[in-house]
Amino acid sequence: MVRHGSSVGKLLLTLVVAAFAILLLQDPVQAQVATVEKNGPEAVLARQDFTYTITVTNDATADTNVVVEDVLPTGVDLNGPLPTGCTSTESANRITVRCNLGALAANATRTITLNVEAPDAAGTITNQANVGGVLSNTVTTQVVPSADLVVTKRANPNPVDVGDNIAFTLEVTNRGPEDVTDVQLRDDLPGNVVLIAVEEEQGVCRVRPGQIVDCDLGPLGSGDSTTVRVVVEAEEAGTISNTARVESERGDPNPGNNTATVSVVAEDDAPPGTNPPGTNPPGTNPPGTNPPGGTGGDLDCDDFDTQAEAQAAFDADESDPNGLDADNDGIACEALDNGGGNNGGSNNGGGENEGSIIISGDDNEVIQETIPGKVLPFTGGTAGAVFLLGAGALLLLGALVVRFVRFRSL
């Protein structure tokens, strides 16, 4: 006898087990997660960095294991580390990001941020995220043409002596992806330099008030470079800081490299341990000599036989470490004999001071300083004075004789 009730019971039990198995085999995220939302910019420059965000919300009453998958648009690259729990693979120029977020609590929300770089080519890109078959909204982004302009700057020499020239070399490069037609370069020179010259490889540079060098360099293809050279003179000791900036009408995905700054140290060329000529403080040695206790050499004027020898030593190092030019006029040891002897009474013995002449030929010979190329008036020595006195006496006697003759004739 067949018991129908028993068969029905077995059938019902089988159906319950099968339904339970189906529930267990289902993707829990697809069954439980209510929403997946994705956000991104409406427009970016080619090669510009931007972010996608994916927000997953579990509306179920129990914790749910969440796995997010996002296939990035063609040409979009990752730029930076992935969030914890995320990995990436690449196939056919497309990157797939897969993030295992683990158990997501009931009614909880989790957000993922992906840092990416826009493709080189201009156009429209779209993107969606997928969580267990549940798709997010579609994000549409317009990619705008761009060119990454870069300016670099170097200075030579560095350091530099005050009064010497500095050459600033500015190089502008277009890293693409697009060509540009209107490269503009500006260099604001600081107040402690004087502009000497500007040389450009292409375009034209103008100098604006305030020592602003403004260059219209014209077109620059992707991958090309051009150079501008700015020459200045260092006016004072200290740090010379100079900044240049490049730009164009084309959007730039990386504005951080559009400026460049270089600093140059300008040094006073006075030798260490001495004061510049004419700047010795009161109570110290005369200008052109070393400070008390000096740091100069071991020579002085007594070590030379002639002024010419002393002058040669001074010319070899015009910083005058030996203090040979006491009055700072460029002539060393002026009291020394010039090679013709102190008692010779002649200035044709050779070795005369440049910028000085012998103006007396008697026993009281005098060397009078002059400005180079200019001769002072003749003043004479003892013999000259005697001659003038005698001539005066004769003139006086002649005048007396004339008056006496006229008196007798009356």
Of 56-65, 81-90, 325-334, which gets the smallest average pLDDT?
325-334
Of the candidates 214, 244, 267, which is a domain's last residue?
267
Of 33-42, 269-278, 291-300, 356-365, which gets the smallest average pLDDT?
356-365
Instruction: Give the model's pLDDT for residue 344.
Output: 40
DSSP state string for 115-181:
EEE--SS-EEEEE-EEETTEE-PPEEEEEEP-EEEEEEEEEESSSEETTSEEEEEEEEEEEEES-EE
Instruction: Give the model's pLDDT for residue 315.
Output: 82
Alpha carbon 269 to chain centroid, angstroms = 22
**pLDDT per residue over 361-381, tens digit each?**
333 333 333 333 333 333 344
Of 27-41, 102-116, 337-351, which gets the smallest average pLDDT?
337-351
**Which token pair is 119?**
């493709």
CA separation for the pair 320, 302 (Å, rounded): 16
Instruction: Give the model's pLDDT for residue 20.
Output: 57
Q: Is the pLDDT of residue 288 over 70?
A: no
Looking at the structure of the chain, the number of domains it has is 2
How much is the mean pLDDT over the chain? 78
Instruction: Give the model's pLDDT for residue 124.
Output: 97
Confidence of residue 40 (pLDDT cuts 50, 70, 90): very high
Please indicate, yes or no, if residue 18 is contained in any of the structural domains. no
Strand partners, 233: 165, 194
CA separation for the pair 278, 87 (Å, rounded): 74
- Detail the DSSP E strand segments found in 259-386: 259-267, 356-358, 367-369
* Residues 173 and 247 reside in one and the same domain: yes
CA separation for the pair 221, 179 (Å, rounded): 4
* Residues 108 and 179 reside in one and the same domain: no
Instruction: Give the model's pLDDT for residue 367.
Output: 32
Q: What are phi and psi of 195, to 5 degrees?
A: -70, 130
How many Cα atoms sit within 13 Å of 393 on the Cβ side? 6
28/239: higher pLDDT = 239
* Residues 169 and 237 reside in one and the same domain: yes
CATH of the domain at 165: 2.60.40.1530
Confidence of residue 302 (pLDDT cuts 50, 70, 90): confident
Confidence of residue 330 (pLDDT cuts 50, 70, 90): confident
Instruction: Give the model's pLDDT for residue 253.
Output: 94
Q: Is the pLDDT of residue 123 over 50?
A: yes
Of 146-150, 275-279, 309-313, 357-361, which gets the smallest average pLDDT?
357-361
Instruction: Give the model's pLDDT for residue 395.
Output: 73
Under DSSP, the state recorded for 293 is T
Please indicate, yes or no, if residue 397 is contained in any of the structural domains. no
49 contacts 116 by C-beta, under 8 angstroms:
yes
Q: Is the pLDDT of residue 348 over 60?
A: no
Going by C-alpha positions, the residue among 187, 195, 192, 193 that lies closest to residue 227 is: 187
109 contacts 35 by C-beta, under 8 angstroms:
no
Q: Is the pLDDT of residue 242 over 90?
A: yes
Please indicate, yes or no, if residue 372 is contained in any of the structural domains. no
Look-up: residue for tokens 């826009």?
Answer: 118
Instruction: Give the model's pLDDT for residue 284.
Output: 45
Instruction: Give the model's pLDDT for residue 92.
Output: 86
58 contacts 67 by C-beta, under 8 angstroms:
no
Please indicate, yes or no, if residue 323 is contained in any of the structural domains. no
Of the candidates 267, 299, 334, which is a domain's last residue?
267
Q: How many CB atoms lie within 10 A of CB 38?
A: 20
Please indicate, yes or no, if residue 41 is contained in any of the structural domains. yes
What is the percent of the chain where pLDDT is above 90? Answer: 51
Q: Is the pLDDT of residue 117 over 80?
A: yes
Q: What are phi and psi of 394, to 5 degrees?
A: -60, -40
Q: Is the pLDDT of residue 244 over 70?
A: yes
Alpha carbon 355 to chain centroid, angstroms = 45
* Residues 167 and 214 reside in one and the same domain: yes
Instruction: Give the model's pLDDT for residue 3.
Output: 52
Instruction: Give the model's pLDDT for residue 175.
Output: 96
**H-helix segments, 93-140:** none
Instruction: Give the model's pLDDT for residue 178.
Output: 94
Of the candidates 243, 267, 291, which is a domain's last residue?
267
CATH of the domain at 104: 2.60.40.740
Look-up: residue for tokens 């060397």?
Answer: 367
Confidence of residue 114 (pLDDT cuts 50, 70, 90): very high
* Residues 92 and 175 reside in one and the same domain: no
* Residues 261 and 230 reside in one and the same domain: yes
* Residues 170 and 203 reside in one and the same domain: yes
What value does the mean pLDDT take over residues 1-18? 61
Q: Is the pLDDT of residue 349 over 70?
A: no
Q: How many CB atoms lie within 10 A of CB 92?
A: 5
Please indicate, yes or no, if residue 80 is contained in any of the structural domains. yes
234 contacts 193 by C-beta, under 8 angstroms:
yes
DSSP state string for 368-382:
EE--TT--PPP---H
What value does the mean pLDDT take over residues 117-126? 94
Instruction: Give the model's pLDDT for residue 141.
Output: 97
16/51: higher pLDDT = 51
Q: Is the pLDDT of residue 132 over 90?
A: no
Instruction: Give the model's pLDDT for residue 276.
Output: 47
348/141: higher pLDDT = 141
* Residues 113 and 162 reside in one and the same domain: no
* Residues 207 and 109 reside in one and the same domain: no
Confidence of residue 29 (pLDDT cuts 50, 70, 90): very low
Please indicate, yes or no, if residue 91 is contained in any of the structural domains. yes
Going by C-alpha positions, the residue among 110, 114, 93 that lies closest to residue 101 is: 110
Please indicate, yes or no, if residue 14 is contained in any of the structural domains. no
Instruction: Give the model's pLDDT for residue 326.
Output: 79
Q: What is the span of the domain harbouring residue 131? A: 28-144
What is the percent of the chain where pLDDT is above 70? Answer: 68
* Residues 127 and 155 reside in one and the same domain: no
Count how many residues are written for the chain: 410
139-144 vs 165-177, strand pairing mode? unpaired
* Residues 177 and 120 reside in one and the same domain: no
* Residues 151 and 261 reside in one and the same domain: yes
CA separation for the pair 92, 74 (Å, rounded): 8
82/61: higher pLDDT = 82
